[in-house]
């Protein structure tokens, strides 16, 4: 489990930008993502995941303005996000938690979440968010700058190789950012009109259950848009950004 945390952190660094601060005597690396906050979120996800949900991995997803870390399992009964901010903790996996504590990956029970918020404030970042999505808990860590240039290219290549279609891959990447209609997708692809190939790939992605209509009861509506499904998000997380299991 501790090795899994390090693998995730290595992955995050691989997709981040690194600069240097020479204001002090020694050079200090400066990363484009808040590694301290992300480490806390990853540790929390690993320790509190519900491992009884088979086939439901911990996921790390990059977006232009944020990084999301999601684990299977809702908050334990009686525990709220507000409680977590006050340092209240309920442990789902006692053995894992004890190992992490002994390895100093956890400083004090219940301190990780409040430390994340304090670090975000110190860095001038928006407050992280903790939300329950279905049977999962999602930590949303916001970034100071967009990392689109660093991530989109590598994601597109990996996804394209699996979908065997550049257009299908780019449609998924575009839908990572916003729900979009066919005209918007065509524009995002650099096309002046909606091509037959785009229609074909949208139909294929619908059949694969990677995307869905926002107005399914009116397929031909001029207001129709498309969005990623949980399966589509999982596909991107696995093929484009690697699952953090």
Q: Which of 142, 169, 204 is the last residue of a domain?
A: 142
Sign of CA dihedral 12, 120, 5, 46: negative
Q: What range defines the domain where residue 125 resides? A: 2-142
Residue 14 lies in a domain: yes
Report the CATH number at residue 35: 3.30.565.60
Q: Are residues 59 and 84 in the same domain?
A: yes
Report the CATH number at residue 197: 1.10.10.10
- As to burial, measured by CB atoms within 10 angstroms (0-12 exposed, 13-18 middle, 19+ buried), residue 34 is buried
Distance CA 245, CA 123 (A): 29
Q: Which of 86, 117, 142 is the last residue of a domain?
A: 142
CB 184 within 8 A of CB 226: no
Task: Label residue 157 by pLDDT band (50, 70, 90).
Answer: very low
Q: Are residues 137 and 220 in the same domain?
A: no
* Tens of pLDDT, residues 37-56: 998 999 888 888 898 887 77
Residue 244 lies in a domain: no
With a cut of 70, say whether residue 156 has pLDDT above it: no
Residue 245 lies in a domain: no
With a cut of 70, say whether residue 193 has pLDDT above it: yes
The token pair at 88 is 């209240």
* Tens of pLDDT, residues 54-94: 777 888 887 778 889 999 998 888 888 888 888 788 888 88
- What would the mean pLDDT of 1-26 be, rounded to a whole number? 62
Q: How many domains does the chain have?
A: 2
Q: Are residues 24 and 138 in the same domain?
A: yes
Residue 111 lies in a domain: yes
* Tens of pLDDT, residues 98-142: 888 777 777 666 677 888 899 988 888 889 999 988 899 999 999
* Tens of pLDDT, residues 223-242: 999 999 998 888 777 654 44
Q: Are residues 132 and 12 in the same domain?
A: yes
Q: If we measure between CA atoms, which residue out of 128, 35, 37, 40 comes closest to residue 81? A: 128
């Amino acid at each position: 489990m501790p090795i899994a945390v390090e693998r995730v952190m290595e992955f995050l660094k691989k997709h981040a930008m690194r600069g240097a601060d020479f204001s002090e005597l020694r050079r200090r690396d400066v990363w484009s993502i808040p590694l301290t906050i992300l480490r806390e979120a990853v540790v929390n996800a690993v320790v509190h995941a519900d491992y009884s949900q088979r086939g439901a991995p911990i996921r790390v997803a990059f977006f232009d303005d944020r990084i999301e870390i999601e684990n299977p399992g809702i908050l334990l009964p009686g525990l709220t996000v507000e409680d977590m901010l006050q340092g209240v903790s309920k442990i789902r996996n006692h053995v894992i938690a004890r190992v992490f504590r002994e390895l100093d990956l956890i400083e004090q029970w219940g301190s990780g979440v409040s430390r994340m918020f304090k670090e975000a404030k110190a860095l001038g970042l928006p407050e992280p968010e903790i939300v329950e999505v279905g049977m999962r808990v999602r930590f949303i860590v916001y970034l100071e700058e967009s990392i689109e240039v660093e991530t989109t290219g590598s994601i597109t290549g990996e996804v394209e190789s699996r979908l065997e279609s550049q257009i299908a891959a780019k449609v998924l990447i575009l839908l990572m950012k916003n729900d979009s209609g066919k005209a918007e997708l065509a524009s995002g692809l650099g096309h002046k009109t909606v091509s037959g190939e785009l229609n074909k790939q949208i139909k294929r992605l619908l059949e694969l259950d990677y995307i869905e209509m926002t107005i399914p009861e009116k397929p031909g509506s001029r207001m129709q848009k498309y969005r990623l499904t949980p399966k589509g998000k999982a596909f991107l997380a696995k093929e484009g950004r690697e699952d953090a299991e």
